[in-house]
A and B are shown apart, each in its own frame.
Chain A
């Protein structure tokens, strides 16, 4: 909860990569995990002024280093 990280790589096909980029999730950006839904539900993250939810399977493709 509240963990911050900087994205250094996104391991996915070009389609998902573009969708993430259009929401502001690009390499070099800082992201913060706001919360996780119970029962293995999605993550709620913030990047810049945008808030995004995504499933854990998608989140695993986004590699971050802690800041």
Chain B
């Protein structure tokens, strides 16, 4: 069943780190972790939550193929203890699979709060299956579950239960009060889903979130870059002074400047994901789908597409994978074409750096906000253009979970996940990227670093006719070329190209361009291909090279046109104004 806490459970039991959120269908791929059950090592597989085994949607297919081909030793059937009434069909389907089954009734805390009474022993007896109550979020009931699992490993496969039998068993042993509703949720929804107030409140919350990230995160980032430049001057420079000059340059101006500039943004990014995570965990995102659906339908998408665009603000890759919950191919493709315009946290780093260089503290939040507006506008514009090619025929029916508070543990886990993601990206792209850029901007031998004689200079000279009409200079051209790989490389590259980091880098940017060129560059960086991982994900999800090519070429064209129009108009206004 979707959104019953399987991933929370996996994390709780095995210490794994699956992504958790209050949004049905978050686990879209199969995750696994090792677990000791008694004295045996078992592999616990987290399958996507489904309502039915009939294989209509992608995730249902994943589960039914998995059960057929892999023949697991034991199925943990996880259900939401407060919504038993509608989960019985699936249990009947699963029981006829010929595998031992343990029924886990999760969110026991929530059920109890609703006044739902569950007679575990009676239920277990009627079903002929082991049953246990669990609260994965708070860790209650895990001991007992371990015990049940140990016993079940040796037991016979579940006997096939008919839907009527399952119904019978639950009817007699689960007592739901006549008026079981989440009172608090109802009260909050009265405000947040209010016919007129709902939308303004939603935008207010989003604005507050971005404002919060910026006002708390910027000082943190400043502190980090101060720390990094001090480490360089106090420790690294004296330490490496014995090495040949070329090697010193490579290590300090190349590797260290590049990576430390990117790393100084990590606190900001963690903060961003934490805030977005809180919004996600509380269950507000499904409400956003409710509020935005009417508007989204005008653009050929639906409320779920909007939620995916929001998730894309964190990172485009999971958002693209999240579109699997959409069954209509047309709508899924349309949403996937729009998501890469979402201003992800990697692009946020580039903008924070540029905005700090070119604009005052008062202007900064508004400039950033304008970029978010452009981001959403481009996604909508793309959807509008392609809505007749990728037609949405999907019914829009979505479960609304009650509001839930994320625990501190879940939040810390989320923060740590981001640090780990950063470390993987560093080893994969950023290190290689900054090294390559250092080589390109310092060779052939004898060329003045960063000048036109270097390889990088020749490359940007060759690209100049294309990017000069946008006001994008040669240094920025190189950064953009490498930004194709990942947006973190853009700031790493700038640090290497200008040979500075921290405040010195910000000053260098300020002295090398005016705000119109800077904004034009930001527009281009916002709109064109976000990163190689996004392209790979699109290719993986669609298995179509033609669609993948479209998702690269279309944003490139839009980026060029938008930057061109902005730069030329702004220059004209400046000349005549």
Contacts and interface: CB of A to CB of B under 8 A. Distances in A.
Contacts of B195: 35-38
Interface of B: 51-52, 54, 56, 82-83, 85-86, 89-90, 114, 116, 176, 180-181, 189, 193, 195-196, 198, 286, 289-291, 293-295, 297, 302-303, 327, 395-402
Contacts of A51: 399-402
B290 A46 contact: no
A38 B294 CA distance: 8
Nearest to A16: B395
Contacts of B286: 53
B397 A23 contact: yes
A40 B294 contact: yes
A42 interface: yes
A42 B86 CA distance: 22
B398 A48 contact: no
A37 B290 contact: yes
Contact of A38 (B180, B196, B303): B196
28 contacts: A18-B56, A19-B51, A19-B52, A19-B397, A22-B89, A23-B51, A23-B399, A24-B83, A34-B189, A37-B195, A38-B195, A39-B294, A39-B295, A41-B290, A41-B294, A42-B294, A49-B176, A51-B400, A52-B398, A52-B399, A53-B286, A53-B293, A53-B396, A53-B398, A54-B396, A55-B293, A55-B397, A58-B396
Given A19-B51, A51-B399, A51-B400, A24 B294 contact: no
A44 interface: yes
Nearest to B52: A22
Contacts of B327: 15
Given A16-B395, A35-B195, 13 more contacts: A12-B395, A15-B327, A18-B54, A21-B86, A22-B51, A23-B399, A24-B85, A37-B195, A39-B295, A48-B85, A49-B82, A51-B402, A54-B396
A20 interface: yes
A37 B395 contact: no
A49 B83 contact: yes
Contacts of A42: 290, 293-294, 303, 396
Interface in A24-67: 24, 34-42, 44, 46-55, 58
A34 to B, nearest CB: 8
Nearest to A35: B193
A63 B413 CA distance: 46
A8 to B, nearest CB: 18
Contact of B397 (A35, A37, A38, A58): A58
Given A18-B54, A35-B195, A53 B181 contact: no
Interface residues of A, number: 31
Nearest to A39: B294
Nearest to A36: B195
B397 to A, nearest CB: 4
A58 B17 CA distance: 37
A22 B50 CA distance: 9
Nearest to A24: B86
Contacts of B51: 19, 22-23
A35 B189 CA distance: 10
A46 B85 contact: no
A18 B189 CA distance: 28
Contacts of A36: 195
Nearest to A19: B397
Contacts of B52: 18-19, 22
Nearest to B397: A54
B399 to A, nearest CB: 6
Contact of B86 (A23, A38, A44, A55): A23
Contacts of B193: 35, 37, 44
Given A18-B56, A21-B89, A41-B293, A52 B82 contact: no
Contacts of A49: 82-83, 85, 114, 116, 176, 180-181
Nearest to A40: B294
Contacts of B401: 51
A15 B402 CA distance: 26
Contacts of A35: 189, 193, 195
Contacts of B54: 18
Contacts of B83: 24, 48-50
Contacts of B196: 38
A35 B185 CA distance: 14
Contacts of A41: 290-291, 293-294
A55 B396 contact: yes
Contacts of A15: 56, 327
A46 to B, nearest CB: 7
Contacts of A44: 189, 193, 290, 400
B326 to A, nearest CB: 12
Contacts of B398: 52-54
B9 to A, nearest CB: 20
Contacts of B400: 44, 51-53
A37 B295 CA distance: 11
Contacts of B189: 34-35, 44
